[in-house]
Chain A
Amino acid sequence: MNLTYNQVFKDPEISKALVARIREKNTRPLRLMEVCGTHTMAIFRYGIRSVLPETITLLSGPGCPVCVIAQKDIDAYVMLARRPDVILTTFGDLMKVPGSVSSLAGEKAKGADVRMVYSIFDALAIAKENPDKAVVFCAVGFETTIPTIAGAVLTAQTQGIDNFSIYSANKLTPPALAALMKTAGVEIDGFILPGHVAVITGLDAFYPIFEKYRIPSVVTGFEPMDILNAVLKLVEQNESKIPRLVNAYPRAVADAGNPKARAIMDQVFETADALWRGIGHIPDSGMVLRESFYKFDAAKKFELSMPDTREPAGCDCGRILMGLKRPDQCRLYKKNCTPMHPVGPCMVSSEGACAAFYKYSG
């Protein structure tokens, strides 16, 4: 793998030319939403807001899996971590998200066996090494992550790793966009659609929403040039008043996506209603294990006595995720809620709108 390949897409000259074109073409105020948390982070990190005209507002959408995780799911993870027979495995950014009573980092400090992994297959290896323990993986992801989780479940089945299970809080992107568009007060002039998700879903998954709402939409990658190019295309579509759904990330995204990955996903998971933080229940937006895989479903395997779910009072994560508020318009921002003492999940994940805003805007 050539690790410097991405440098090509950071070219300062081309980036500056794109900025000049955006400034030249843009004549009206525009509210553009980047759906994906990785986009949010890249936008802050490369200072993209600071080079765009003031008329263009970039909003962070509901595409950071940690930010949209429901309080009750965090609570379930905490309860699982507290069980002495469980080794809980998780991706790093979930560690500090506060649940109703505690966080995984808090439980780990008290002695719970919570382990950070980089891949679900590490969790599978831990399960093999610890046959007398139940190894549970906190399955939190979008289309990007779900096929790998499905692959791991299939591996567990083939190899008979019965002490392995997942607790699914997986979610799908298109239903969230549909729900967003139905919410009163949401005004969006264009979507910067998630490139990594589209690698799996393809462009096709976004057509139904596009056809219904006719919002200019561009799938793009995560380098400065990718993002600026998407903004330019959205500006052009708004100026010409001809909305289109465009694939501006053809080096990674095929229109039909990755059918093989989707097939594995569908073999293992089925859609279900899911609870999104601050947004509420969205029909068919979650992915839970099919009945034939129940023995790998921690939600079925363990009886958890759940605490009363308490959403943090005053936290505006939900409204921020829908583009209805900016992080600095939340009354907790920088006062009660900081990366050191996060109240809402948008302040925890490095890709959360509030954390990125805090880190890069000062």
Chain B
Amino acid sequence: MNKKDTILLDHGAGGKVSHAMFSELILPLFDNELLAKQNDGAVFEVPPGRMAFSTDSYTVDPLFFPGGDIGELAVNGTVNDVAMCGAIPLYISVGLIIEEGMQVVDLKRILQSMARAAQKADVRIVTGDTKVVPRGKVDKIFINTSGIGSIPTGVHVSGDGAQPGDKVIVSGTIADHGVTILSEREGLKFDSDVKSDSAPLNHMVKGMLESGYPVHVLRDPTRGGLGTTLNEIAGQSTVGIRLFEDRLPVRGPVRGICELLGFDPLYLANEGKLIAIVPGADADNVLDIIRRDAFGKDAVIIGEVTEQDPGRVVLETFIGGTRIVEMLTGEQLPRIC
């Protein structure tokens, strides 16, 4: 395929043009023997024990942003969702829905980025599908990925596992992705170095699970941010969660942009951060393990699980006051003044 080409409806019609796109563009990038067999699905051996299976669709606008792009997001997002089940992600499927007229050079850039992300996360893209729809029916490209992974024996990670006395760890600074996308989408020119935190977290999770320390809950606070995810956990586990505002890691420029626009970093998306809830006695050791990972250097303990206020997240503010952190109810809207 020529770099200057644009994607036509023919590319998704299943005929010669479709095949050419698969064999010339997709297969060389996602290179692996399971995909090369070109069957209707991938066939593979599974390790004994339990499996985790997750799916997510990616519709981000803009496609390319500081710190990543839709392709990297689509791989990391599903890798992370599988990892948050306490699993080692193994195989990924990719469904591409492309708008007619998309530039091949853009598509290639996205696919290359997916291949790189898969390699980094050590997962294989083994099956997929491509559809091309008429102009205006999707916004350039939508990507669905599903992932499957194996859960090591003895691991039981679940949103209902938080217990009073547990500590809440976040693996790094919050709201980086959300602020980056908002700034890019609205064409806001800030003289700052904010960028998306898109990253695979499966190696970090593997390190935690292999250490043998019990991990009660793992979640990646993506859409809705830390505030929403912690509310989900508090509800599922019927416990209270108490956060300390002065411990929440937020980069200076991210905090500044949030203040300017009236956004709360607690509700902005992250794409490379996890929340780990672990017994209080093990928290420092687990924190050390997370910090050893390339994407966990800024990890901190931000709060604790309590018996009081079941189902609620309570924040102790900078000045020693308290407030409830509610679940995000809709899109945050920029304010007038």
Contact = CB atoms under 8 A, between A and B. Distances in A.
A6 B253 CA distance: 12
A312 interface: no
Interface residues of A, number: 50
A89 interface: no
Given A12-B246, A48-B321, A4 B333 contact: no
A48 B264 CA distance: 17
A362 B321 contact: no
Contacts of B318: 10, 12, 15, 46, 224
B322 A38 contact: no
A91 interface: yes
B319 A19 contact: yes
Given A93-B335, A116-B334, A350 B320 contact: no
19 contacts: A4-B252, A6-B256, A7-B252, A12-B246, A12-B319, A19-B319, A41-B262, A44-B323, A47-B323, A48-B319, A92-B334, A94-B336, A141-B337, A142-B337, A196-B337, A224-B318, A350-B335, A360-B324, A362-B312
Contacts of A293: none
Interface in A223-259: 224, 228
Contacts of B252: 3-4, 7
A3 B256 contact: yes
Contact of A46 (B260, B319, B326, B329): B319
B259 interface: yes
Nearest to B313: A362
B46 interface: no
B291 interface: no
A115 B317 CA distance: 35
Interface string A339-362: 110000000011100000011111
Q: Which of B260, B261, B324, B336 has the most CB of A within 10 A?
A: B336
Contacts of A10: 318-319
A47 B315 contact: yes
Contacts of A116: 333-334
A340 B319 contact: no
Contacts, number: 120
A24 to B, nearest CB: 16
Contacts of A340: 329-330
Given A3-B256, A340-B330, A362-B312, A140 B320 contact: no
B332 interface: yes
Number of contact residues on B: which range applies? 35 or more
B192 interface: yes
B191 interface: yes
Given A91-B336, A351-B262, A360-B324, 12 more contacts: A46-B317, A47-B319, A47-B320, A48-B321, A65-B336, A65-B337, A96-B330, A116-B333, A228-B319, A340-B329, A351-B335, A362-B312
A46 B245 CA distance: 9
Q: Provide the main secondary structure of the chain B interface.
A: loop
A51 interface: yes
A118 B188 contact: yes
Contacts of A142: 337
A338 interface: yes
A4 B335 contact: no
A349 to B, nearest CB: 7
Q: Which of A1, A95, A144 has the most CB of B within 10 A?
A: A1
B257 interface: yes
A360 B246 CA distance: 18
Contact of A1 (B188, B191, B264): B191
A51 B320 CA distance: 7
A45 interface: yes
A15 B337 contact: no
A88 interface: no
A116 B334 CA distance: 9
Contacts of B317: 45-47, 224
Nearest to B309: A362
A145 interface: yes
Interface in A1-19: 1, 3-4, 6-7, 10, 12, 15-16, 19
B326 A51 contact: no
Nearest to A91: B336
A50 interface: yes
A141 B337 CA distance: 8
Contacts of A6: 256, 259
A93 B332 CA distance: 9
A187 B38 CA distance: 77
B255 A141 contact: no
B251 to A, nearest CB: 9
A15 B246 CA distance: 13
A66 B337 CA distance: 10
A92 B263 CA distance: 12
Contact of A3 (B188, B192, B315): B192
B336 A47 contact: no
A120 to B, nearest CB: 11
A123 to B, nearest CB: 13
Interface in A49-66: 49-51, 65-66
Interface in B91-146: none
Contact of B337 (A44, A145, A339): A145
Nearest to A225: B319
Interface in B283-337: 312, 315-324, 326, 329-330, 332-337
B320 A12 contact: yes
Contacts of B259: 3, 6
Q: Which of B260, B316, B319, B322 has the most CB of A within 10 A?
A: B319
B40 interface: no
A114 to B, nearest CB: 13
